[in-house]
Amino acid sequence: MFDRLRRVGVLTAACLAFVAGPAAAMETAITHPPAQPYPQDQLASSLATQAPDLNPQVLLTAVSAMQCAVSSGAEPADRLAVIDFSLPSSEQRLWIFDLQTRTLLLQDLVAHGQGSGGNLASSFSNVEGSHQSSIGLFRTQESYFGKHGYSLRMDGLEAGINDLARQRAIVIHPADYVDPSWVERHGRIGRSHGCPAVRPEVASMVVDSLKGGQFMFSWYPDDHWLATSSFINCPATDGGDMIVSAR
C-alpha cells in the first residue's frame, strides 16, 4: 500500500485539476496577504521533523492534496490539520501545523464515527445517517456554539467522498469520551456520529487555530479513494512549489 503512496507522492508535485463541486465552498475562505512559494517537498520535510510520529508519506500526501487545491484557485491557508485514521483511536492521531513557522501546534487524540469501527476505523462514508467518518481533503469554515459547545463547521472538497460533510453535520467539537481514561477502561476512546471530536481541554485551541479557511486532511489507505481522488492524482507540472499565505 505504501508503495502506491510513494508513487502518489511523486505524481503530486503540483496540480492543475480541481473538483468542480466544492469550488463554491472555496470562495468562502478568508482573504490573505500576497502568497509566497515554497518547495512542496521541502515544506513536507520541515513539517515531518516536527512530527516524528506522523508517517512522512501520509504528511507528503496531505501537503500535495493541499497544493492541488491552492494551485487550482483556492485561497492559501495558514494551517494544516492531518488525521491518520489508519492508527487506532487509542493513539494520538491528529496533528495541527502552522505553515508559516513550519511548527507543530498540537498532536492529540481524535474520535471516529461509531459506524467506522471499534478502536480501529475501517469503513468510511459520505452518506447521511451512516455514523461513519469521511476521509479526504476538507476546508474548515465558521466556528459556532452548538449542542456540543464551541465547534467548527467544515466543507468536504472531494465529490462523492466527503462533499456532504456540512449536510451531515460533520464538525469538529469537544466530547467527554475523547479521554485517555477511556483507553484504560475500554481499550479505545469513545466514538462520535462521524465527527472528528476532540478532548474538551484542547477543543477551543483546535477550533480557534483551524477556523476561517484552513485545510484538514483525513487519511486512510482506501484503494478506491487513492485511485480516484482528484487531489491525490493531480497531473504533475514543472512547478512543485507549495503556496502558503504571507503575513
Compute the radius of gyration of the chain from its Cα atoms.
17
Per-position DSSP letters for 212-229, written without gaps between them: TT-EEEEE---HHHHHH-
| pLDDT score of 120 | 98
What ranges do the domains of the chain cover? 2-118+137-245
Q: Which fold has domain 2-118+137-245?
A: L,D-transpeptidase catalytic domain-like (2.40.440)
Q: State the CB neighbour count (10 A cutoff) for residue 20.
A: 10
The SS3 call for residue 13 is coil
| pLDDT score of 40 | 66
With b for 16 or more beta-carbon neighbours within 10 A and e for fewer, the 118-130 pattern comes to ebebeebbbeeeb
Please say whether the beta carbons of 135 and 225 come within 8 A.
Answer: yes
Q: Give the mean pLDDT per block of 10 residues along the chain (247 residues).
A: 46 40 41 47 93 97 95 95 98 97 98 98 97 98 97 98 98 98 96 98 98 98 95 66 44
Please say whether the beta carbons of 222 and 150 come within 8 A.
Answer: no
Distance CA 186, CA 111 (A): 14
Model confidence pLDDT, tens digit, residues 67-108: 999 999 999 999 999 999 999 999 999 999 999 999 999 999
Prediction pTM value: 0.82
Please give the sequence-ordered ranges of beta strands (E in DSSP) within 85-162, or none if there are none.
94-98, 103-108, 136-146, 149-156
DSSP 114: G
> The C-alpha cell of 130 is what?
451512516
Distance CA 162, CA 138 (A): 8
Model confidence pLDDT, tens digit, residues 14-37: 333 433 444 444 433 334 444 444
| pLDDT score of 5 | 46
| pLDDT score of 235 | 73
| pLDDT score of 39 | 59
